């Protein structure tokens, strides 16, 4: 494109400059006018810039990363993209000082089109902006389709664009194409692009893309090999570590996932998504201290932004209470106090979200349980039940699936299986995500998905084999392990009850095993005469009555009294 054409292009752009220093804003505005821009607005902070974006459509935005108090440049970008105040076709340039490099790495979903490093000068800015603008124009048909949320149209636009544009932009188009194929689940087409060219000198984006596509194809071995090579060659590549964590999560290797994410947040600590992932992995490994630090960080970096989530408050309160349950003395009071303060904040911040209010009451009950306050425990739990009974299930549509699953699990842990099962049934109907459906299925008494049924049968088989060989300790251990993943499965609970009954013939069960027995019977108390499990349940329940010394405790426990 000739220089006169570039000037004409600039004349059509409406620009926004965001910097907290007035002299810098004025200088950049003056330069943009010199380049040919006719409309240039300026803002001194993110809030002012958001207000401008609500009233005007901008084609080019230059934002300093460090905007003083309030949101930084990255948080501003996330906000305007999330609320669709700025289109995909707009060019977003982030300006950073050398000291900001450690922080700008955190972007995952919302990334700028380019970064410029301070100090700026007119000539270097002109050169970089001209190049970025021309590249953006080449990608415009694809970005326009993305604004319309039409992935197939965007893929088609990429195919047509690459045939007619300057060859120097072919790599950018190919990269966009491959990303679109990944979004569409066309992993083989994406891999064809990522693996094109010399295998000895693939650019970083192709290596990362190849690993992502192989994870999509569940080719975990090759994906891990690629990611290990990337990290060895480029230790600061946080995206590779994020993909590693995703891979380990799919393998259900939470310990390695936690290790990888711990390294990732040291490199780039300001991503609330990454901190959440670390909190989730730490919770899964039982590292409540690490989980607490991660949830605190997620809240700190997302507070008053579009990334803030009610789940972060609730997960933090849960982890605080879990650690309090393992602590002694003044530490218990300190942790439970922070848990209650956290729940006060989430209830105040999300007063209309009934699922949040429900989950908060469940957690309050659990805090009172740790504090040894049975009256308040029962009261809060009953209030949670009341909220559940009055719940409009349309509320589930606007609440995270994980939060709903946590609520269902909590009800079941406290013995309220009907309420938990009802929540799970509603969730299963609402979600179209197959992976989530399987996750939900694992908590149900009778799995509904093919994968859930197959998974339960596979894990059940190990315990049955030990039982048939009369290896009761191994059978008990196998069933307990399975019930950690499928805690409410009717057949598995009956199998564990049967093993404990058989063991009692030779030796007395200890208190922990008696408590486990009571829990198993509670989980299957729903069995009716119409159930194929009924005769077996009645037989085992009769046998169980002789295993617990306190007749009244036995009767209350085995007839399903809860609370």
Between CA 43 and CA 54, with CA 48 as vertex, the angle to 5 degrees is 110
Instruction: Round to whole Å and give the CA distance between 500 and 491.
Output: 14
What confidence score (pLDDT) does residue 365 get? 96
DSSP state of 531: S
Containing structural domain, residue 60: 1-145
Which among 145, 180, 210 is the end of a domain? Answer: 145
Select from 68, 12, 79 the least CA-distant residue to 43.
Answer: 68
- Which of 95, 125, 145 terminates a domain? The answer is 145
Q: Over 90: is that where the pLDDT of 42 sits?
A: yes
pLDDT of 98 reads 59
In a domain, 216, yes or no: no
Alpha helices in 268-329 (DSSP H): 272-285, 288-302, 310-325
Q: What CATH number is given to the structural domain containing 87?
A: 3.40.50.2300
Tell whether 498 is covered by a domain.
yes
Tell whether 134 is covered by a domain. yes
How much is the CA Rg of the chain, to the nearest whole Å? 28
Residue 32 binned pLDDT confidence (cut-offs 50, 70, 90): very high
Task: Indicate the SS3 state at residue 352.
Answer: coil
Taking residue 27's Cβ as centre, other Cβ atoms within 10 Å add up to 17
Please check whether residue 277 lies inside any domain of the structure: no
Task: Give DSSP secondary structure letters for 217-255.
Answer: TT-HHHHHHHHHHHHHH-TT-HHHHHHHHHHHHHTT-HH
Q: pLDDT tens across 45-96, in order?
A: 999 999 999 999 999 999 999 898 888 898 899 899 989 999 999 999 999 8
How does DSSP classify residue 120? P
First to last CA, the chain: 75
List phi, psi (to 5°) of 43: -145, 145
Counting every residue written for the chain, the total comes to 563
Q: 512 or 435: which carries more pLDDT confidence?
A: 512
109-118, 279-288, 435-444, 503-512, range with the lowest pLDDT: 435-444
Please check whether residue 87 lies inside any domain of the structure: yes
- Asked if the model's pLDDT at residue 103 lies above 70, the reply is no
Q: What percent of the chain has pLDDT over 90?
A: 47
**CATH code of residue 543:** 1.25.40
CA dihedral 63, 14, 147, 399 (to 10 degrees): 50
| pLDDT confidence bin for 3, thresholds 50/70/90 | low
**Phi-psi map region of 470: left, alpha, beta (phi>0 left; psi -120 to 50 alpha):** left
CB atoms within 10 A of CB 168: 11
Task: Evaluate whether 310 touches 350 at the Cβ level (below 8 Å).
Answer: yes
Task: Record the tokens describing residue 493, joined without a space.
Answer: 């609970």
pLDDT, one tens digit per residue, over 175-223 is: 999 999 999 999 999 999 999 877 777 889 999 999 999 999 999 999 9
Number of domains in the chain: 2
Instruction: Identify the band that residue 247 occupies on the pLDDT scale cut at 50, 70 and 90.
Output: very high
Using one digit for the tens of pLDDT, what is the confidence trace for 306-342?
Answer: 889 999 999 999 999 999 999 998 999 999 999 999 9
| Alpha helices per DSSP H over 121-194 | 122-147, 151-164, 170-183, 187-194
What pLDDT, on a 0 to 100 scale, did the predictor assign at position 320?
97
Three-class DSSP category at 55: helix
- Res 100 pLDDT > 60: no
User: What pLDDT is recorded for position 559?
Assistant: 35
pLDDT tens-place string over residues 119-134: 889 998 999 998 888 8
Rounded Cα gap, residues 557 and 464, in angstroms: 26
Rounded to an integer, what distance in angstroms lies between the CA atom of residue 491 and that of residue 461? 12
> Does the residue 124 lie in any domain?
yes
Nearest to 18 by CA among 46, 57, 37, 38: 46
Distance CA 474, CA 476 (A): 5
Backbone angle region of 498, left / alpha / beta, with phi > 0 → left and psi within -120 to 50 → alpha: alpha
71 is a domain residue = yes
- Does 541 score more than 60 pLDDT? yes
Beta-strand (E) ranges in 372-462?
A: none
Number of helices (H), then strands (E), belonging to the chain: the values are 28, 5
- C-alpha–C-alpha distance, residues 490 and 348, integer Å: 39
Per-residue confidence at 489, pLDDT binned at 50, 70, 90?
Answer: confident
Mind listing the pLDDT tens digit for each residue in 465-479?
A: 888 888 898 999 888
Residue 369 in contact with residue 377, Cβ under 8 Å? Answer: yes
Last residue of a domain, one of 115, 145, 175: 145
Most confident option among 157-171, 273-287, 397-411, 455-469 = 273-287
**Closest Cα partner for 50 from 14, 19, 77?**
77
- State residue 101's pLDDT score: 54
Mean residue pLDDT across the chain: 86
Residue 412 falls within a domain, yes or no?
no
Structure-token pair, residue 530: 């119409």
38 has a pLDDT exceeding 50? yes
Residue 43 confidence (pLDDT): 96
Instruction: Please give the angle made by the CA atoms of 125, 127 and 133, to the nearest 5 degrees.
Output: 95
**Three-state secondary-structure class, residue 48:** helix
């Amino acid at each position: 494109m000739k220089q006169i054409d570039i000037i004409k292009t600039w004349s059509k752009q409406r620009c926004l400059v965001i910097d907290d220093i007035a002299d810098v804003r004025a200088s950049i505005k003056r330069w943009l006018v010199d380049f040919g821009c006719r409309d240039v607005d300026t803002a001194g902070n993110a809030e002012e810039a958001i207000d401008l974006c609500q009233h005007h459509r901008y084609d080019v935005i230059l934002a300093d990363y460090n905007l003083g108090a309030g949101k930084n440049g990255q948080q501003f970008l996330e906000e305007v993209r999330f609320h669709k105040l700025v289109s995909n076709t707009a060019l977003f340039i982030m300006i950073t000082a050398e000291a900001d490099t450690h922080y700008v790495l955190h972007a995952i979903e919302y990334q700028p089109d380019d970064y410029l490093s301070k100090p700026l000068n007119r000539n270097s800015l002109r050169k970089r902006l001209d190049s970025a603008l021309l590249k953006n124009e080449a990608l415009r048909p694809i970005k326009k389709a993305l604004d319309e949320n039409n992935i197939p149209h965007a893929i088609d636009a990429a195919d047509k664009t690459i045939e007619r544009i300057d060859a120097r932009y072919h790599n950018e188009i190919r990269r966009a194409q491959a990303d679109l194929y990944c979004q569409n689940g066309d992993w083989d087409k994406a891999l064809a692009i990522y693996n094109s060219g010399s295998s000895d000198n693939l650019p970083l984006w192709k290596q990362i893309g190849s690993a992502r596509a192989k994870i999509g194809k569940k080719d975990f071995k090759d994906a891990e090999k690629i990611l290990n090579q990337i990290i060895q060659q480029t230790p600061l590549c946080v995206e590779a570590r994020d993909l590693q964590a995703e891979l380990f999560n799919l393998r259900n290797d939470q310990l390695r996932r936690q290790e990888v994410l711990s390294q990732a947040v040291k490199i780039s600590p300001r991503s609330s998504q990454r901190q959440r992932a670390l909190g989730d992995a730490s919770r899964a490994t039982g590292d409540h201290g690490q989980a607490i630090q991660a949830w605190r960080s997620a809240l700190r970096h997302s507070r008053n932004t579009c990334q803030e989530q009610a789940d972060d408050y609730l997960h933090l309160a849960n982890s605080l209470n879990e650690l309090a349950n393992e602590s002694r003395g003044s530490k218990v009071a300190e942790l439970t106090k922070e848990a209650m303060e956290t729940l006060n904040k989430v209830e105040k911040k999300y007063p209309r979200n009934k699922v949040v209010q429900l989950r908060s009451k469940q957690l309050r009950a659990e805090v009172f349980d740790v504090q040894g306050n049975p009256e308040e425990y029962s009261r809060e739990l009953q209030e949670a039940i009341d909220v559940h009974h009055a719940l409009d299930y349309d509320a589930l549509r606007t609440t995270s699936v994980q939060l709903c699953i946590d609520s269902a699990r909590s009800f079941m842990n406290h013995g309220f299986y009907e309420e938990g099962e009802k929540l799970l049934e509603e969730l299963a109907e609402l979600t179209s995500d197959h992976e989530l459906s399987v996750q939900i299925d694992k908590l149900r008494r009778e799995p509904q998905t093919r994968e859930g049924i197959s998974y339960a049968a596979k894990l059940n088989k190990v315990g049955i084999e030990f039982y048939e060989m009369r290896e009761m300790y191994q059978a008990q251990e196998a069933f307990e392990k399975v019930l950690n993943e499928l805690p409410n499965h009717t057949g598995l609970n009956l199998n564990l009850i049967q093993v404990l009954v058989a063991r009692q013939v030779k030796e007395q069960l200890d208190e922990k095993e008696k408590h486990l027995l009571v829990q198993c019977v509670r989980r299957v108390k729903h069995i009716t005469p119409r159930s194929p499990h009924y005769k077996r349940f009645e037989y085992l329940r009769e046998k169980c009555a002789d295993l617990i010394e306190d007749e009244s405790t036995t009767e209350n426990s085995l007839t399903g009294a809860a609370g």
